[in-house]
Amino acid sequence: TMNRKKKINQTLKAKVKKMNAKQQKSNKPKYISKAERAAIAAKAAEAAAEGGASENTSEAKVEN
């Protein structure tokens, strides 16, 4: 009977350990797929290009 009690306690402890592990917050950043990263990079490049174009026009206005 001791082996049976030991086995039951072992499985219960394992369940508690798994539940505690799930409750902890992970420091790992959320996964972003390769396609999403490419889309974000494209948006950033587009925004930088627009920002650069607007800076050039504002500089031209200042020079005049």
**pLDDT score at 51:** 77
Quote the pTM value: 0.41
**pLDDT score at 57:** 52
Alpha carbons 29 and 27: distance in angstroms, whole number: 6
> Where do we find the tokens 């005049």?
64
Query: Which of 45, 21, 44, 41 is closest to 32 using CA atoms?
Result: 41
pLDDT band at 26 (very low <50, low <70, confident <90, very high): confident
How distant, in Å, are the alpha carbons of 24, 35, 41, 45, 46 from that of 54? 46, 29, 20, 14, 12
pLDDT for residue 40 is more than 80: yes
